[in-house]
Structure 1
Amino acid sequence: MIARLEENLGAALFNREGRSIRLNDFGHAYLERVNRIFLEIEEGERQLKDMMGKQNQVTSVSIALPHILPFFIVEFMKRNPDVHIKQHSGSASMMKQQLENGEVDFCISMSPIFGEDIEWMTLLNEEIFLSVPPDHYLANRQSIELHEAAHEVYINRPSGYEFRDLTDDFCKQAGFVANTPIELEEAGAILRLVELGLGISFTPQLSLLHQSLPRTVQIPISTPMCRRTIGLAWNKRRYFSEASTEFRNFTIKFFKHIPLTYYNDKNAEGFGDA
Structure 2
Amino acid sequence: MDLLSLRYFQTVARLENMTKAAEMLHVSQPAISKLIGNLEKELKIKLFDRTGKYIRLNEYGKRFLAKVDLALQTLEDGKTELLDMAERPTGTVVIFIQVGSYLLPDMITLFRQLYPEAQFKLLQHESHPINPVFDLSISSSPFRIPGTESIPVLTEEIMLAVPSDHRLANRESIHLSELSEDSFISLKPGKQLRETTDSLCRAAGFTPRIIYECDEPSMVRSLVRSGLGVSFIPAVTWGGSQGSSVVLISIEEPVSTRTIEISWYTNRYMTNVAHKFRAFIQDYFKQSERIKK
TM-score range, shorter chain: 0.7 to 0.9
Three-state SS of the structure 2 residue aligned to 1:159 is: coil
Residue 85 of structure 1 corresponds to: 120
Q: 2:278 — aligned with what?
A: 248
Q: What letter matches 1:182 in structure 2?
A: Y
Question: Which runs of no fewer than 5 residues in structure 1 stay unpaired?
Answer: 265-274
User: What is the CA distance between 1:153 and its match in structure 2?
Assistant: 0.6
Is the contact made by 2:89 and 2:273 (CA closer than 8 Å) also made in structure 1?
A: no
Counterpart of 2:108? 73
Q: Which residue of structure 2 aligns with residue 271 of structure 1?
A: none
Q: Normalization by structure 1: what TM-score?
A: 0.77
Distance change >3 Å, CA 210–CA 220, structure 1 → 2: closer
3-state SS of paired residue (2:227): coil
Q: 2:130 & 2:111 partners in 1: Cα distance?
A: 24
CA contact 2:80–2:90 (8 Å) conserved in 1: no
**What is the one-letter code of the residue matched to 1:157?**
L
CA distance in 1, matches of 2:195, 2:166: 26
Counterpart contact for 2:154–2:289, Cα < 8 Å: no
Q: What is residue 163 of structure 2 aligned with on the other side?
A: 133
1:41 aligns with 2:75: yes
Distance 1:159 1:233 in 2: 23
> 69-78 or 54-63: which moved more?
54-63
Q: TM-score, normalised to structure 2's length?
A: 0.72
- Counterparts of 2:85 and 2:175, CA distance in 1: 57
Contact 1:6-1:13 at 8 Å conserved across structures: no
Q: CA deviation at 1:234?
A: 0.7
Distance 1:6 1:136 in 2: 73
Q: Which amino acid aligns with 1:215?
A: S
Q: How far does residue 77 in structure 1 lie from its aligned partner after superposition?
A: 1.7
Mapped pair 1:58 → 2:89: no
Change in 2 beyond 3 A, CA 1:14/1:113: farther
Identity of aligned residues (%): 30
Aligned partners of 1:153 and 1:180 also within 8 Å: yes
RMSD of aligned alpha carbons: 3.1
Equivalent-residue separation in structure 2 for 1:53 and 1:183 (angstroms): 48
Find the aligned partners of 1:79 and 1:41 in 2 and give their Cα distance: 29
TM-fit CA distance, 1:54: 5.0
What are the Cα deviations for residues 64-108 of structure 1, in whole angstroms up to 9, with x where unaligned?
2221122212221222222122222225x9487224xxxx21111
Q: Structure 1 segments of 4 or more deviating over 4 A?
A: 1-7, 12-17, 19-24, 26-34
Q: Is the 8 A contact 1:158 1:164 kept in 2?
A: yes
How far apart are the structure 2 equivalents of 1:2 and 1:172? 56
1:272 maps to which residue? none
Partner of 1:219: 249
- Helix, strand or coil at the partner of 2:146: coil
Unmatched segments (≥5 aa) in structure 2: 1-38
Whole-angstrom distance in 2 between the partners of 1:23 and 1:220: 56
Aligned residue pairs: how many?
252
CA spacing shift, 1:28–1:213, aligned 2, 3 Å: farther
In structure 2, relative to structure 1, the CA distance for the partners of 1:50 and 1:134 (3 Å cut) is same
CA distance in 1, matches of 2:242, 2:253: 29
Note closer, same or farther for the CA distance 1:134–1:56 as it changes in structure 2 (3 Å cut): same
Whole-Å separation in 2 of the counterparts to 1:175 and 1:137: 21
8 Å Cα contact 1:96-1:115 kept in structure 2: no
- Aligned-residue offset at 1:21: 5.8
Structure with higher Rg: it is 2
For residue 124 of structure 1, report the CA deviation from its aligned partner.
1.1
Residues 197 and 54 of structure 1: is their aligned pair in 2 closer, same or farther, counting only changes over 3 Å? closer
User: Post-superposition shift, 1:258?
Assistant: 0.8
